[in-house]
C-alpha cells in the first residue's frame, strides 16, 4: 500500500522516562512536510522572477493583468501565515488540536492554492508538488493515532508484575 510510507516506524531506543522512542516522530514529519510546501511556494515565486517581462510587470504594479497593490500583497502575506503557523503548531499543540490544525490547515491552504490556476509549465510543476505535500499532510494527520495515556502512579504501584515488583 503506498501510504505505508507514512506509517510510524519501529520503536528504537529507550527514552529517559522509560517509554519507547519512535524512529520517526509524527510531529516532526508533519512540521517537515509544511516546510517542504512552503519552500515550494517560495521557489515558485523566486522562479517567477526569471520569467521574461515579470520585473517590468512588477514596476507597473500589474502581474499578468492583475493589479498588485498593497492590499493584494497584504492578502498574500496573510495567506502564507497559516502554513507558517502550522509548522510550529505541529510541534507545540497537544495531539488533538495539532491533528485538527494540520488537517484544517492543509485543506484551507489547498483551497487558496487552487484559487489561482498556474499559468505556465514550471508553475504547474511547483503547484502539483505543493498539493502533493498538502495531501501527504492531510493523510498523515488523519491517520495520526492518539498517544497511549501515561499510567498514573496508582496504576503503576497497583500492578504486582510492574516495574517496582521485587
Give the pLDDT confidence of 65-113 residue by residue, as tens digits: 777 788 888 988 999 999 999 999 999 999 999 999 999 999 999 999 9
Read off the pLDDT of residues 118-152 as tens digits, 9 standing for 90 and up.
888 988 999 999 999 999 999 999 999 887 776 66
* Mean local confidence (pLDDT), 50-67: 79
Task: Return the higher-pLDDT residue of 2 and 45.
Answer: 45
- pTM over 0.75, yes/no: no
In the chain, where are the structural domains located? Answer: 15-140
Asked whether the predicted pLDDT for residue 166 surpasses 90, the reply is: no
20-22 and 62-63 strand pairing:
unpaired
**Is residue 11 a contact partner of residue 22, using CB atoms and an 8 Å limit?**
yes
**Is residue 30 a contact partner of residue 21, using CB atoms and an 8 Å limit?**
no
Please state, in angstroms and rounded to a whole number, the distance separating the CA atoms of residues 113 and 82: 12
Residue 160 sits at φ, ψ, to 5 deg, of -65, -25
Residue 101: how many CB atoms within 10 A of its CB? 20
Residue 156 has a pLDDT of: 59
3-state SS assignment for residue 63: strand
* Mean local confidence (pLDDT), 18-22: 50
Name, in order, each residue with C-beta under 8 angstroms of 90's C-beta and a sequence gap of 6 or more: 27, 30, 31, 34, 98, 101, 102
Amino acid at each position: 500500500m503506498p501510504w505505508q510510507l507514512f506509517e510510524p516506524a519501529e520503536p528504537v531506543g529507550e527514552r529517559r522516562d522509560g517509554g519507547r522512542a519512535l524512529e520517526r516522530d509524527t510531529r516532526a514529519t508533519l512540521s517537515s512536510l509544511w516546510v517542504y510546501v512552503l519552500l515550494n511556494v517560495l521557489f515558485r515565486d523566486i522562479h517567477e522572477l526569471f520569467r521574461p517581462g515579470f520585473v517590468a510587470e512588477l514596476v507597473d504594479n500589474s502581474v499578468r493583468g492583475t493589479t498588485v497593490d498593497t492590499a493584494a500583497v497584504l492578502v498574500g502575506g496573510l495567506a502564507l501565515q497559516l502554513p507558517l503557523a502550522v509548522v510550529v503548531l505541529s510541534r507545540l499543540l497537544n495531539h488533538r488540536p495539532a491533528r485538527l490544525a494540520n488537517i484544517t490547515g492543509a485543506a484551507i491552504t489547498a483551497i487558496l492554492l487552487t484559487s489561482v490556476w498556474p499559468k505556465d509549465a514550471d508553475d504547474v510543476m511547483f503547484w502539483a508538488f505543493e498539493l502533493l505535500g498538502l495531501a501527504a499532510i492531510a493523510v498523515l494527520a488523519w491517520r495520526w493515532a492518539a498517544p497511549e495515556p501515561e499510567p498514573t502512579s496508582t496504576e503503576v504501584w497497583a500492578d504486582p508484575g510492574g516495574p517496582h515488583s521485587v
